[in-house]
Amino acid sequence: MTSPSTGARYLLERRGGSSGASSGGSSGGASSGGASAALYDGEISTPEACFRAEATLHDDGAVELVDVGPAAPAELRAQLLMFARLTARGAPARRAEGLAEWPQRVQRWRPRK
């Protein structure tokens, strides 16, 4: 994937699993007592650099973000963390609606300040 010409692109891509509807965390996530989690590869791309991370998203909104390689600047990392938290918090509602609990891919672009 090419780098954006301006701003920063944030990508979360789920590891493994199917993209269909799930219940109890069966779609690419781990399940324990009704709660579920999913593992994502995260990427932040700017015109100057690309930063990678691994993110574990829990359906209670908790996120664990671990840098893979050089750490992204704090402002960029905070944005990726926010997108991951929003995705995690939405999992129970998607599950209740019969949709895929954990989306295969979440991509956003934001201008840099």
Calculate ∠ Cα 31-28-9, nearest 5°: 125
pLDDT at 102 over 60: yes
pLDDT at 2 over 90: no
Over residues 23-34, mean pLDDT: 45
Half-sphere exposure of 28 (CA within 13 A, CB side): 22
Check residues 1 and 65 and name the one with the higher pLDDT.
Answer: 65
Burial label, 22 (beta-carbon count in 10 A; 0-12, 13-18, 19+): buried
pLDDT at 1 over 70: yes
Task: Round to whole Å and give the CA distance between 83 and 60.
Answer: 14
Over residues 90-110, mean pLDDT: 96
